[in-house]
Amino acid sequence: MDIAQQERLNLRLVKEVEKHPCLYKTDSVEYSRRGITDKAWAEVGRVVGWPAFNMEEVEKSKNLLFDSITTDIRKIMRKKKSEGKTQRDLEDIITVLKSLDPESIPIFVAKDLHRLPPVLFDHLDCSALLKDITLLKAQMESIKNTYVTTEQLHNLEVKLHSNRYDSIVDTHIHHRYDQFR
C-alpha cells in the first residue's frame, strides 16, 4: 500500500469515528458504556472495510499510527503472518484510538484529493460551521453598530462643506466690516 492509499484509509477511519461521538466524547454518558462503544467500533470497522485490507496495509497503518502519537500503550510487533495477526493489529489500532484524547488524534492529509471519496453532509463538522456563523453574525452586528452609513457620511460631508463655506463668508464679511470702521 502506498502512502496515498494509507492516507485515504486513515481519512476514512477518522471520518467514520467522528460519526460516533460515544467513541471520543469523554463527557458523553455513552462513552463509558462498553456495549455501545463496541457496537460503534464494529460499525466503524464495517464501513471502513477493515476485513478487505491486506496484512501489509494493516501493519503499515498500525506503524504510522504509533509513529504519529505518544502513548503509554505498548506497540506489539507480531511476527507470524496470518489473518489472526491482522485482526490483532486492527484491535491494537482500535485500542490506541480509544485511549487517545480527541485533540491528540493525528490528522492525515491526502495528496491526491481526486482519489478521495466525496465529502457528504454527514462528514461535515456542523458545530464548527455554526461557531463560524455565530462569529460572523457578531462581527456584522459590530460593523452595523460602529460604522457609519453612506447617508450619515454624506450628511457629514454636506455639513463640513457648509461650515467651511460659512466660515469663509463670515471671515470675509468681518474683514470687510473692519475695513469700513
Assess contact for 39 and 12: CB atoms under 8 A: no
pLDDT in tens, 90-145: 788 888 887 877 777 777 665 555 545 556 666 667 788 889 999 999 999 999 89
Do 83 and 155 lie in a common domain? no
pTM over 0.95: no
> How far, in Å, are 62, 158, 170, 171 from residue 167 at the CA level?
82, 14, 5, 6
Top mean-pLDDT range of 19-28, 39-48, 75-84, 111-120: 19-28
Assess contact for 99 and 73: CB atoms under 8 A: yes
**pLDDT, greater one: 85 or 23:** 23
The residue among 121, 143, 160 that closes a domain is 121
Name the pLDDT band for 155 (thresholds 50, 70, 90): very high
Do 80 and 107 lie in a common domain? yes
Nearest residue to 61 (alpha-carbon basis) of 70, 46, 50, 74: 50
Whole-number pLDDT of residue 68: 81
Percentage of the chain surpassing pLDDT 70?
Answer: 69
Do the domain assignments include residue 77?
Answer: yes
In whole numbers, what is the pLDDT of the chain averaged over residues? Answer: 76
Do 112 and 136 lie in a common domain? no
- Judged by DSSP in three states, 11 sits in helix
Nearest residue to 105 (alpha-carbon basis) of 15, 179, 173: 15
Whole-number pLDDT of residue 102: 76
**Domain total in the chain:** 2
Whole-number pLDDT of residue 58: 73
Do 155 and 174 lie in a common domain? yes
Cα–Cα distance between 152 and 139 in angstroms, integer?
21
Residue 148 lies in domain: 132-180
Assess contact for 116 and 110: CB atoms under 8 A: yes
**pLDDT, greater one: 107 or 52:** 107
**pLDDT, greater one: 44 or 156:** 156
